[in-house]
Amino acid sequence: MTDDAKLIERLDDTLGGITVPDLMHGDNLAITLCTAYDNPDQDADEETGWTPDAISGMEAVLAAIRAHYAPAFARLTALIAENERLQGGIKARDALLRAGCDLLAGEYDNLKASITMPDGSLSANPLDAWAVEKVAAMEDWIASVKATLYPATPTTEASHGE
């Protein structure tokens, strides 16, 4: 069960204990409902202190509230599951993109080395123009992928090539 699903379950379980800050704490909704449905002609339960009508009235209202919000909780639960599925897909996509980037970086290094002149500049030979163009495009793409996968924040992992 996810943390979100546990939160939804906890909210459902504690519905009768909604707290109003600076006003009421504890089981105030349950107490208010029991007060509304209390029957002075009945004996109070020794454990709860409320009559059977008070308890059944409170339980009926809380059940109606739960039923009213059940579609929203179901939708929220479905959205949480879909989000988790999508996050897994994003992680898989990032791993593939990272691997592709690393592979292309190796090819980039080889291609660039083959057209680099002794002074460090790229070849100006017209026959190498296509390679110079490809090296520039590869360099831009690799930089773009690295910027996407490894944003400059202290919490991200380092690039494979860095």
Q: What are 95-121's pLDDT values in tens digits?
A: 898 888 888 888 989 999 999 999 999
Percent of the chain with pLDDT over 70: 93
Residue 156, pLDDT above cutoff 50? no
pLDDT digits (tens, 9 = 90+) for 36-63: 999 999 999 999 899 999 999 999 999 9
Using DSSP's 3-state secondary structure scheme, residue 104 falls into helix
Please state the φ and ψ torsions of residue 41, each to the nearest 5 degrees. Answer: -85, -5
Average of per-residue pLDDT across 77-105: 90
C-alpha to C-alpha distance for 1 and 20, rounded to whole angstroms: 29
> Residue 154: is its pLDDT beyond 60?
no
Rounded to the nearest 5 percent, the helix, strand and coil shares of the chain are 70, 0, 30
As given in the structure block, the two tokens for residue 19 are: 């707290």
End-to-end CA distance of the chain: 38
Its pTM stands at 0.54
